[in-house]
Chain A
């Protein structure tokens, strides 16, 4: 899909995110909006998947390690036809397949249950390792939060990804700089993240994570044999909705009806 087409999908995904969270009266808009371009790029232009056959053993795999951004995940899956668009209205409701955080038992197209931060990256490492063990050409993608990188297990996973030379694995860090209690730097500074990631041995890219062309370049660069890819994607939390942008307060808060209307106006076209 070209940039213009993908850009239009991103707008629809953002509107769906706002509607899902407003309908549910709870959810995580900030970190869902920041990763829209990253997720759509991966799903539309890079993953080998078939919405008609979501369990195809030869499909590529995706793990949303920052599971609280589920609204973005569900919106993309609905756009692709893995789930019905009508289902989005049931987000976070009793008996819905769309749990507050992704449940792979319930949702076609979800390969791992996530939400407890720090764990998804290790699951993705296991998938990539399994693909190698079985001699499959499966590619594995995972999106992490920057705040999530405060979990020690993330660094265990980084160590293992490089130890096992998982060049079929792409780790994307949604670096929006904010978390529940404030900025990453105020809460628990991640320090020189690019230097740390390079030191782990990754095939490393630093990009504008809300720029589709920039994302495409990093995702389509040739594989470096024996090196897992890590993309540090600088993004804007709440991207696309003026009053949510760069506001930690919109990490886990639903818009009211007035705010929903304003957000949808801004996301028209």
Chain B
């Protein structure tokens, strides 16, 4: 895992190739093309790129209208302004009519870093997951972000994809991506960790630290938060007895709650959610901010040990 690439970067580059293959793909941004990385698509396919200016609500509904004409709009801004500011536009004008719009928001979570709490969405997974019929995807690395970007075009219906600003390690192992099908990256008998996004890598590193102490954990990349791979959750919860979720998101409403919902009344196990504990983020270097909120590998390993 030497190379580091941000999922937003992989998304932006994938859009270029997807656009070359599929002329129905159009991309919209709200004056953040240089940050969400839709700038690559803008350069490659300028006639299919729409900069809607700093008007996210309007952008979401324009995307809705474009989709009714048979186009496949990919709509990008920061998670705060997409899932946050334009929540009701997504809810009423995209999800309610089941329009085929792909909402791909970068700069999610506290790893945004220096911009601070106002720009660090720790609620977007919850906001999107609660909408009936919405599909929610959080790629763990650049390879997965690329695969997901292509998969979205083949999938009919509204999707929210959460992308990160921070460049993070690209997994050496290549594995298939299928919406709704979790990937088990490592197996161990003592506990199962369900993680998403940047926390998948941290969980894998935590697993290595724990292995050195003789604790073997299963690590599952839960890239699709909704529809959740409940079968996988139940199987490993039964097998391991200890269940931990890790996400760069509030512990309220995100992956942890989705896993808890799947387990409720089905499996008797120890359960712990690791994430942002009902608070806003703050400015700082991404690595420092992640450490402040207990989301680095060694901190995660310590919390897992505490749970066992």
Bound CA span A153–B64, Å: 14
**B156 CB within 8 Å of chain A:** no
Bound CA span A72–B298, Å: 63
Structural contact, A122 and B97, CB atoms closer than 8 A = no
**B277 CB within 8 Å of chain A:** no
Interface segment out of the listed A129-137, A232-240, A258-266: A129-137
Known: A125-B62, A130-B65. A116 touches B97 (CB 8 A): no
Interface segment out of the listed A46-54, A154-162, A187-195, A215-223: A154-162
**A269 CB within 8 Å of chain B:** no
**B303 CB within 8 Å of chain A:** no
**B127 CB within 8 Å of chain A:** no
Listed residue (A57, A131, A156, A159) with the most chain B CB atoms within 10 angstroms of its CB: A156
**A37 CB within 8 Å of chain B:** no
Structural contact, A119 and B50, CB atoms closer than 8 A = no
* Contacts A/B (CB < 8 Å), 6 sampled: A113-B97, A114-B93, A116-B88, A123-B68, A126-B68, A134-B71
> Apart from A57-B70, A120-B61, what are 20 other A-B pairs with CB-CB below 8 Å?
A112-B68, A112-B97, A116-B88, A119-B57, A122-B60, A122-B65, A122-B89, A122-B93, A123-B68, A123-B93, A126-B62, A130-B66, A133-B48, A153-B55, A156-B55, A156-B57, A156-B58, A157-B61, A159-B58, A160-B55
**B13 CB within 8 Å of chain A:** no
Minimum distance in angstroms from B54 CB to a CB of chain A? 9
Structural contact, A159 and B53, CB atoms closer than 8 A = yes
**B208 CB within 8 Å of chain A:** no
**B134 CB within 8 Å of chain A:** no
Minimum distance in angstroms from B141 CB to a CB of chain A? 33
Q: Secondary structure of the B side of the interface? A: helix
**B→A interface (CB under 8 Å):** 26, 47-48, 50, 52-53, 55, 57-58, 60-71, 88-89, 92-93, 96-98
- The contact string, 1 if C-beta is below 8 Å from chain B, for chain A 193-205, is 0000000000000
Structural contact, B62 and A160, CB atoms closer than 8 A = yes
Bound CA span A105–B133, Å: 14
Structural contact, B26 and A133, CB atoms closer than 8 A = yes
- Residue in A closest to B24 when the chains form the complex, CB atoms: A134
Structural contact, B96 and A157, CB atoms closer than 8 A = no
Bound CA span A115–B92, Å: 9
Residues of A within 8 A of B69 (CB): 126-127, 130-131, 133-134, 136, 138
Structural contact, A160 and B68, CB atoms closer than 8 A = no
